[in-house]
Structure 1
Amino acid sequence: MDTDESPRHSRGVQSRLPSSPTGRFAWAGRNFRIQTAATVVSGLGNAGAPIATAFAVLDGGGSTSDVGYVTAARLLPTVLLLVLGGALADRLPRHHVMVAANLFSALSQGTLAALVLTGRPALWQLMLLSAGAGAGYAFYAPAAGGMILESVAPEHAGRAFSVYRMGFNGSQIGGAALGGALTAAFGAGWVLALDAVCFLAAAALRFLLEPRSPAAPAEGGGMLRDLREGWQEFASRRWLWVVVVQFSVLVACVAAVDAVYGPAVAKERLGGANAWGLALAAHGAGLVATGVLMARWQPRRILLTGNWGVFLFGLPALALALAVPLPVLCAAMFLSGAGVTVFGVNWMIALQQEIPAEAFSRVTAYDELGSLSLAPLGTALAGPAAGWLGLSGALWTCAVVSLVLSAAVLLEPQVRRLPRRAAAPAGARSADALPGPATTP
């Protein structure tokens, strides 16, 4: 990978941002504020939906394996459609893609809520509608990443990504606690209905975004050419694909713990959905608390620092394997959330400074595709693995694998050495270094 200090590393920010407020948050333009608000709204519903779905399966007489199958059904279309979603997000106005994806997710979650509220849905119905939500996410995620990238200047990237994640993660705290409490008090159907309403509200907010015009596609080649160019941008950076390979296994372990093993342990030993909601809320509190730190901290070696956070990802599996009481589990979840923010902010900074804006959504789609590629298999096999190894043995396996992967990725020199680059002021960049004209407010 080219790691010189050339101007190309500052590509990816518009020549004119939409209108910005004055004062302390003058760097936060209109698009950034709207997208952050919409993310908070949708996050409130999404944080409770996995809890509700898991307990809808368990309370309906399903097994731990059934929970894994439903989770895998949600993840599989995400994996299959992410690259297409990234290509569309680099060709079409990104807010159109996000609004359509949110509306589709609202439809799937609303239908699932109706089925749960009116009876016991069959396993295939739960899987089919969960797959619909996963398909919506596949088109939403690459467009959302591109929208945040183009809404702030590079010199404010660390602060912006931290604030954005604090907003999202704050919604996870409230959403997880509310989702667990509502599931315990009223049942899973009402939490799924709330998720659908939140998607509708988020779509309405995102309709107000003022997107930049997408770069005009080059003549010939069409979508296949776009996908090929995105792959070349992805594959040419060893630090990028090495971390994605690491996360392909890591995310499978984390997904198995969060979606399958955690709810199963909570139902068996901790008191049910409310307890698991509190644990997830503690995870969210760790995300938010560390966001305050990351808004000010500017480490020089961004991926090396980020990977220290990855070492904390396996703590929830370890705590569940040790059968610790709920307060200790919540502490482990808090630290894990802190690790997610440390990694996530540094990862977004690395992507912003190294990836050209016109290819950003495609590259992040390949990133998410690789990172999620094994998650459907991991959640589908979580139940059988617990049968073969015992629940404790499966949790120990997830914890050890997470630790080993966190250490192994540091063998790659580019991961250890990739530096934070000083961003030139937005007004000092030549027009040739920018992806195209901005949309005026």
Structure 2
Amino acid sequence: MRRNPPDAPPSPTSPGRAGPLAALRASREFRALWVSNVFFFGGAWTQTMVLGWIVFDTTGSEFLLAVFTAVRLAPMLLGPLAGVLSDRHDRVRLLTIACGWALGAAVVLSALESTGQVPYWALVLGGLAIGLAQSPSQPARSALVLSLVGRRHLSNANALNAMAMNMTQVLGPALGGALISAFGAAAALWISAAWYGLSLLALRPLRRARLSRGAELPHADESLRDMLVGGIRHILRSRLATGVLGVTLAANVLLWPVYQAFMPVFAQESLGLDADGLGWLLTCSGVGGLVGSTVIAALGDFPFKGGLFVFGTAGWAALWGAFSLSHQVAVSFALMAGIGLLSAAFGVLQTTLLLMTTEPAVQGRALGVQELAIGVMPVSSLVLGAAAEYAGVATTTFVSALILVAFLACLALRMPALWRYRGV
């Protein structure tokens, strides 16, 4: 008997809104995944701030900070392979392995920092180990959402996941900066290790539910190479999916490396902030992102998904350009809150639109290609780091923001179907 897939389109009579917590109410398993994500992202955001601060504080070099960031983000290049594994294997088991690996890597790095100042090469290797846990697990983490909540609640669920990330972006950097100021970097790293442990414990209900995807996906006898090549060909036949991936690629080439690598530089050189101040600067972005994600979650299955994605991302880029010119602490904090607010349009909808414009059988691989588009950040971080060493971080960021706004304007003119897309 033919089974109705969990991501089947909602009926025309389904209401578009069901409250900002609709997906959490609809699925007990999604609640478990969401709690796990809260702790996993908490560990990731704390480490992003603390390790970046340690590297720049010990080296004083924008380029070495960019090298560290590039190595930490390099596992994103494994996105297509991770997508194949997500379509082929039990996604809950993949997340369990990722959490366990992250916990082990964080404990080792924390222990090394506790013994004294960690050399630069050890920080680079530690960042790589943690990146190997975080990035390759993302296709399984995102694809599992659709299996748990269905198409109707997909935007809501992705917005709730973005809220989880932004809540931890609020708490993690602020906590990390405060701990560095009060107790030192080692304490902040131990806190992040504990968050990974809690994330692993939160996955237990999903493991007990035995939510294996193996029985649903006809790929048991297909080679990894055939799955990879066939999946990419299938994805690229969708013009809308290609447009979404193009926006993801452009944003991660031009501006996301700035946030990932150069915020300690803005804090120290442009605004004169210490570690605690950097933490609060990043917290402003998290607060803005949390508000934006809450708004998208409350909208439910709203009709103007494509427009919010394209024009919201353009506004996000414009605010980055303004932030790069600011030397006033209060103005910069406000701009960073606005950047976080509009980042929700990009962060939530890039995954939602990609899942909606691809077939269920290749959605893991589509998310893997998305992870590869995000994975250009190691290379772009090096390029932007070299540019910042020559022209300065502010000038580099301003030019990158202008280029992204121009790209999105051209895309809106050449592909109006993307910004008019309603999710049908």
Shift of 1:119: 2.2
Give the counterpart of 1:333 among 312, 336, 343. Answer: 336
1:232 is the counterpart of 2:233: yes
- Alignment-derived partner of residue 304 in structure 1: 307
Cα 1:24–1:109, aligned 2, differ >3 Å: closer, same or farther? closer
Separation in 2, partners of 1:272, 1:319: 22
Shift of 1:11: 5.5
Shift of 1:389: 1.2
Separation in 1, partners of 2:380, 2:399: 12
1:38 is the counterpart of 2:28: no
SS of residue paired to 1:60: helix
Structure-to-structure mapping, 1:217-228, within 5 angstroms: 217-218=218-219, 220-228=221-229
* One-letter amino acid of the counterpart of residue 13, structure 1: D
- Alignment-derived partner of residue 361 in structure 1: 364
Cα 1:324–1:314, aligned 2, differ >3 Å: closer, same or farther? farther
* One-letter amino acid of the counterpart of residue 198, structure 1: W
Separation in 2, partners of 1:236, 1:156: 26
Structure-to-structure mapping, 1:23-422, within 5 angstroms: 27-79=25-77, 81-209=78-206, 210=209, 211-214=211-214, 215-218=216-219, 220-268=221-269, 269-297=271-299, 298-315=301-318, 317-373=320-376, 375-410=377-412, 411-421=414-424
Shift of 1:398: 2.2
Shift of 1:191: 1.8
Q: Which segment is superposed worse, 349-358 or 190-199?
A: 349-358
* One-letter amino acid of the counterpart of residue 183, structure 1: I
Separation in 2, partners of 1:292, 1:360: 25
Task: Decide whether the 8 Å contact of 1:109 with 1:133 is kept in 2.
Answer: yes
Shift of 1:325: 1.7
Separation in 2, partners of 1:66, 1:414: 42
Q: What TM-score do you get using the length of structure 2 for normalisation?
A: 0.88
Separation in 1, partners of 2:394, 2:68: 22
Mark the runs of 5 or more structure 2 residues left unpaired by the alignment.
10-20
Separation in 1, partners of 2:235, 2:181: 44
Shift of 1:111: 1.8
Separation in 1, partners of 2:92, 2:416: 37
Q: Which segment is superposed worse, 25-34 or 225-234?
A: 25-34
Mark the runs of 5 or more structure 1 residues left unpaired by the alignment.
1-9, 16-22, 422-441
Shift of 1:100: 0.5
Task: Decide whether the 8 Å contact of 2:244 with 2:350 is kept in 1.
Answer: no
Cα 1:24–1:323, aligned 2, differ >3 Å: closer, same or farther? closer
Shift of 1:32: 0.6
Task: Decide whether the 8 Å contact of 1:12 with 1:355 is kept in 2.
Answer: no
Cα 1:395–1:150, aligned 2, differ >3 Å: closer, same or farther? same
Cα 1:249–1:291, aligned 2, differ >3 Å: closer, same or farther? closer
SS of residue paired to 1:314: helix
Separation in 2, partners of 1:387, 1:24: 47
* One-letter amino acid of the counterpart of residue 112, structure 1: L
Cα 1:219–1:168, aligned 2, differ >3 Å: closer, same or farther? closer
Per-residue CA deviations over 1:369-418 (Å, capped at 9, x if unaligned) read 12322x11122233321222123322222221232223232122331332
* One-letter amino acid of the counterpart of residue 28, structure 1: A
Shift of 1:306: 1.1
* One-letter amino acid of the counterpart of residue 256, structure 1: P
SS of residue paired to 1:208: helix
Task: Decide whether the 8 Å contact of 1:110 with 1:196 is kept in 2.
Answer: yes
Task: Decide whether the 8 Å contact of 1:101 with 1:137 is kept in 2.
Answer: yes
Q: Which segment is superposed worse, 311-320 or 186-195?
A: 311-320
- Give the root-mean-square deviation of aligned CA atoms: 2.4
Q: Which segment is superposed worse, 337-346 or 192-201?
A: 337-346
Separation in 1, partners of 2:347, 2:261: 24
Aligned residue pairs total: 403
Separation in 2, partners of 1:204, 1:405: 43
Q: Could you list the runs of 4 or more consecutive aligned residues of structure 1 that deviate by over 6 angstroms after TM superposition?
A: 23-26
SS of residue paired to 1:419: coil
Shift of 1:316: 5.5
Cα 1:26–1:142, aligned 2, differ >3 Å: closer, same or farther? closer
Per-residue CA deviations over 1:277-331 (Å, capped at 9, x if unaligned) read 1121111111111223212335424222211110133356424422332221122
Separation in 2, partners of 1:255, 1:280: 14
Q: What TM-score do you get using the length of structure 1 for normalisation?
A: 0.84
Task: Decide whether the 8 Å contact of 2:241 with 2:357 is kept in 1.
Answer: no
Task: Decide whether the 8 Å contact of 1:102 with 1:202 is kept in 2.
Answer: yes
Per-residue CA deviations over 1:132-185 (Å, capped at 9, x if unaligned) read 111212331011011111110222223332233223321221112112222232
